[in-house]
Structure 1
C-alpha cells in the first residue's frame, strides 16, 4: 500500500509543479500558479500521514516506509530547488525567459557546497521522520526496518560531501563549443 502512496505523491508533486508553471506562464496567471506551487509541501504531509496511519494500523515497517521518510527529507531539502530548476526552464521555453545557465568553476563548487547543506537538512528531516514513526509505533520488532535506514542516510551525506570536495579540488571546466570548420 505505502509503495502506491509514494508513487502517487511523486506524481502529485510533479503534477502540481507542472500545473503551477503552466498556469504561471501559459495562462499568465502568476498568483494562481504560485498557489499551485505553494501546495507542493502538502504532498509531503499526505505521505507522512499515510505512512504513520499504515504503521499505526498494524503494518510492519518495510523498505517502502523507510523510503517515505527519505522522500520526505529530500522533498523538504530539495523541493524548492527542483521547482526553481523547472521554473527557469519553463520560463525560457514558454515566456521568453533567459536560457538556463550551466555553472562551472567556483560557481559550481559553491553550488555543490550549498547542496551539502541541503543534503544535511534532508538527512536530518528523514532521520527525524524515521524516529517519529518508530516512536509512534512503539514496537521495536515492527520498526526494525526503519532503524536500518540510518546508515543509508549517512552514506547519502558522505557521498554528497565527497562530490563537493572533488569539485573543490578539481573544479568543473566550462564546456567547449564544437569548432566548425
Structure 2
C-alpha cells in the first residue's frame, strides 16, 4: 500500500498558511499487491482549484519505488455541438420563451453527428435583445407622441380661427329664373 497525496502551495495572500507548508488537496491509498500485473490506475477527484501547479507526493513506505511513466489529467467539460451545412451561420438562442423546442429526432441524427468532424468556434460576446426597427423604442414613442400633439394643435387652431369655418359662397345670379322657381 502506498499513500498518495496531491498538494499545492498556498498563494502569497494567505501568509499564515504559506508558512505552514503545502496544503493537501486530496489523499488516496494506492494498492498494488501482485508484482506480475501492471500497477492499477490511480484516480483522485479534486475540488475546483485556482492554482496551476500541483505536487504528487507518494509515500512508498518500505515498498520498492514504482516507476511513473506518464500522467493523465481528466477535466470534465461540457460542449455544445451544432449540426449545419458548411454555409449556414451558427446562431445560439437562449432565454427566449417565444421559441419552440427543436424538431428533430436525435436517434436519427446521431450517426451523422458522431461521424462528422468537429470544428472549434469561438462565441462572440453576448448581445442584448435585437431591435428589429433599428431605432430605440423610446425614441419612436416620443416622436409619435410629438406628432400627435402637433396634429391636435393644428386642428384646434383651425377650429378656433376668427370667423370659424369659411362660409359657403352665395348662389350665383347667373342661374336661370326657371331654376329658382
Using the size of structure 1 for normalisation, the TM-score is 0.21
Using the size of structure 2 for normalisation, the TM-score is 0.21
Relative contact order: is structure 1 or structure 2 higher (C-alpha 8 Å, sep ≥ 6)? Answer: 1
Hey, which of these two has a bigger chunk of strand by percent? 2
